[in-house]
Amino acid sequence: MADWTKSFWMVVPPITGKVEAPKDGGIAVIGSGLSGASVAYWLLENGLDDVTILDFEQEKAATYRNCGHILYGTVESMMALTALHGEQVAREIWGYSIDICHEVRDTIKRLNMDADYRQDGYMVIAIDDVEDKEIKDSIELLHRNGFDSRYVPKAEVEAMGFKNVRGARYEPGSAHAHPVKFRNGLIQNALDRGARYFSGVKVSSVEEVGDFVEVKSQHGTHKFDAVVIAANAYSPLLSRFFAERKLVDPFKGQIITSKPLKHQFKVKYPHSFDHGYEYALISEDNRLMIGGWRNNTPGGEIGTYDVVPNPTVEKGLQDFVQHHYDIKEKIEWEFSWAGIMAASKTGFPFIGPTTSPRVYTCAGYTGHGFSWAHGSAKLLADIMMGNPIPAVAKYFNPKT
């Protein structure tokens, strides 16, 4: 396997900031992944002009290590979401998740960005009868609440090139894009509008002191008027607010990617299996990219910040492909990498002010961070600017 420090996406190098001590003043955004880049973008879009982005070991960010899916919904099926939170909350969250997916599309269009964006749907494939039933129940709930989705019978799923499967749920509105290109586009836009960007700044604490927020790093103490914590899984390592409330738990996700294949994939758009525990995409150059399988390991890869791939998971993913994809040619695996996501205590992201009115956060996406990071950042900017906000924002209050 190739160098695990680089994902397939990182062949496009992420833009980095100046490696020096940051300047004080204005609003600091801690994190330069999809969240931090999006927060900076939305703040500048709202007319603010004194924005500083800080990051540390940015190459480890989940933003460069995901599967590129931009999906309607959350990590839970509509059935599970309804069972956990009730039908009305599930409807509100599902509706909002669609809006934020479209927000990614609209930003790409607005900035005329080349981010390999395609809106060609998403398929949730059942691998046993229990999941097949959950899919059918979810479709019924989605239809009842006015959302589009269709059941794909087993024979049709098999004809699309899968084996040992049951039926599936196809939903046409989801999309996929190149996460590094999208994030770079946002960062470049922020830099063009005068944002300052400093890399290699290891933030160790964020505390409001008097009329400022003090941010401590290896360079000393930096004073800002306000700070946004946009470090997702890493937030508890630099914020007492996150650590004390145990708002998020880190967990490790892992992906392998083949060399370009001759095999003609009928499903190239995002698809997943086994309640989303395995997820896949076909790259623009016809590689199979598949991640997941952590649920089969002892402990489920929860509570770690170690981004070295686990060989057991690598092998599990390769065997999963043999078992579920009808591919005749020999697959050579070229990339293997891991990244750290944040499991949220409430199942929803935390967007808004913390107990300190000058310290805000935008984090906790439990696996679905592409659209949620960008949409959450827009909502956070609206909260900070006093713009109208949707009613659904009440579910994302970091102080609850």
Q: Which residue ranges make up the site for ligand FAD (CB under 6 A)?
A: 30-36, 54-58, 61-63, 65-69, 201-203, 230-234, 237-238, 253-255, 279, 291, 339, 341, 363, 365, 367-371, 373
Tell me how far, at minimum, the Cβ of 250 lies from ligand FAD, in Å. Answer: 9
Q: CB-wise, 56 or 212, nearer to ligand FAD?
A: 56
In the complex, minimum distance from the CB of residue 140 to ligand FAD, in angstroms, rounded to a whole number? 25
Contacts of 49 (CB under 8 A, 6+ apart): 193, 194
- Least Å from the CB of residue 268 to ligand FAD: 14
Ramachandran sector of residue 323 (left: φ over 0; alpha: ψ -120 to 50; beta: rest): alpha
d(CA 167, CA 173): 19
Compare residues 224 and 370 and give the one whose CB is closer to ligand FAD. 370
Q: For residue 56, what are the CA distances in angstroms to 95, 191, 199, 378?
A: 34, 18, 6, 23
Name the β-bridge partners of 353. Answer: 360
Helix (H) or strand (E) holding 91: helix 87-110
Task: Work out how close the CB of 156 gets to ligand FAD at its nearest, in angstroms, rounded to a whole number.
Answer: 24
Please, what is the end-to-end C-alpha distance for the chain in angstroms? Answer: 44
Nearer to ligand FAD, 102 or 211 (CB): 102
Number of alpha carbons in the 13 Å side-chain half-sphere of residue 80: 13
Cα–Cα distance, 293 to 321 (Å, whole number):
11
203 to 10, 34, 323: CA distances (angstroms): 24, 18, 45
Residue 387: CB minimum distance to ligand FAD, A: 22
Pick the closer one to ligand FAD by CB: 3 or 326: 3
Taking the least distance from each CB to ligand FAD, the nearer of 141 and 280 is 280
Q: Which is nearer to ligand FAD, 136 or 188 (CB)?
A: 188
Distance CA 170, CA 162 (A): 14
Question: In the β-sheet with 205-209, what is the strand arrangement from edge to edge?
Answer: 205-209, 212-217, 220-224
Min dist. Cβ of residue 192 to ligand FAD (A): 19
Closest to ligand FAD by CB, 88 or 218: 218
Shortest Å distance, C-beta 179 to ligand FAD: 7
User: Positive or negative, the Cα torsion across 258, 291, 106, 146?
Assistant: positive
Which residue's C-beta sits nearest to ligand FAD? 369
